[in-house]
Amino acid sequence: MKSIILIFVTLSCASLIASDLVFLNADATKTCPKYSCNSGLETDVCAKASGKFSDGTRTVGVKVCSDNKICKTLQTNNFQDDNETTGKCEASTSQTVKYLPGEACTKDEECQDITWYDADKKEQTKGSCDTTNKVCKGSAIDAQCTDNNSCVVGSYCKAKKCTAQVELGKACESTYDCKNNLFCNKKQCTEVFSLEVGTSLADADAFGKAYACKTALYDPMATEPKCQEKRYKLSENQKNDSGRVTCDFGSKCTYQIFESTAADAKAVGNDSTQDCQCGFNDLGTGFCPYSQSSTDSTLKSIDTLKATFDNKRHTQNRASGNIVKTDSEKCAGISNSILFAKAPQCVIDALGYVGCSNAFYLASSFLFMIILALF
């Protein structure tokens, strides 16, 4: 009897150890919720969970809201438990934004209070909207300025005078001097996201480093930062399917950092890990957050990312994209997120991204890029 108990305990322990060692094992039990469309949900109900997350039977029915409402409850962590969670349709809310000179406005309250100079060279300190041209007022090119904020879109403050932004290849002191789709590197305006992996960022200005590399990745804490790439570190039984790597909830995804694109390059620093993320798919599948490497084919949308900087925003707001978003900018939160890989269209629409698809791209929002750069 004791031997039977010993065998049972031994097998149980082995099973627990094996479960801890599972990393991106496609054959392991999937515990992520399964999302599917359910148009039969009650009025104003946009998401309803059933089954248990703890035993892998969790499902979430999703319905698209009407009257321009969205399903704010539709977040993955809201369904990663055994509670009877129900999401209600809610009105979409937008953040109040104050604009700088030359940016679009409809009333004075939309313009930032900054110091600027009018056509009579008089100092102004209140934000004001030019209702004829529908832009915030500011110091025109060749007019006096106190700093970049004083100057209208398309210019910056140089020697207390608003000056047209600098073209590609021309001399600069700061990224703010350059046109919005450029950054200042080696005192020269350079195309954003253009530097190869391994390129030194020693001569890129502090603000421009974030826009310098083709991978949008570097170590801001390094003494001599270089453009880097982050590759998946997979075991023998793990598969990288065109840049998507599946994983089980609770497991870790491992990455290595390189300063060379060569296949035999040695990793720099320590391996980094990120949690497996449950996606909004109908398979109960989790995915590893994207790598940042051409080797893993996860840099497909770098041109789309570049395009967001070719905007008509103030030099200080270049990373925010256009005020009236292009289709690619509107859909960036969906098409660029691993959470929406293979997601039903109703999930995307329920979150307010009507007309967007879950096409596969690298996450391109500036904020997310910075988070990834910091691991």
pLDDT digit string (tens) for 39-48? 999 999 999 9
* pLDDT tens track for 115-132: 999 999 999 999 999 999
Q: Quick one: how far is CA 161 from the chain centroid?
A: 35
* β-bridge pairing 116-117 and 86-88: unpaired
Q: How confident is the model at residue 351 (pLDDT cuts 50, 70, 90)?
A: very high
pLDDT at 364 over 70: no
Q: Quick one: how far is CA 208 from the chain centroid?
A: 18
Looking at residues 318-322, what average pLDDT do you find? 92
Q: What is the pTM of this model?
A: 0.80
Looking at residues 137-160, what average pLDDT do you find? 98
Half-sphere exposure of 65 (CA within 13 A, CB side): 23
pLDDT at 26 over 60: no
Q: Encoding tokens for residue 198?
A: 């391994």
Q: Encoding tokens for residue 233?
A: 């570190």
- CA 10 – CA 13 distance, rounded (Å): 5
* β-bridge pairing 34-37 and 59-62: parallel
Q: How confident is the model at residue 305 (pLDDT cuts 50, 70, 90)?
A: confident
pLDDT at 116 (0 to 100): 98
Mapping DSSP onto H, E and C, the string for 7-72 reads HHHHHHHHHHHHHHHCCCCCCCCCCCCEEEECCCCCCCEEEEEECCCCCCCCEEEECCCCCCEECC
Longest Cα–Cα distance of the chain, Å, equals 100
Out of 51-55, 109-113, 167-171, 358-362, pick the least confident: 358-362
Tell which phi-psi region holds residue 332, choosing left (phi > 0), alpha (psi between -120 and 50) or beta.
alpha
Q: Encoding tokens for residue 363?
A: 């996450």
pLDDT at 92 (0 to 100): 85
pLDDT at 136 over 90: yes
- Amino acid, res. 167: E
pLDDT at 338 (0 to 100): 85
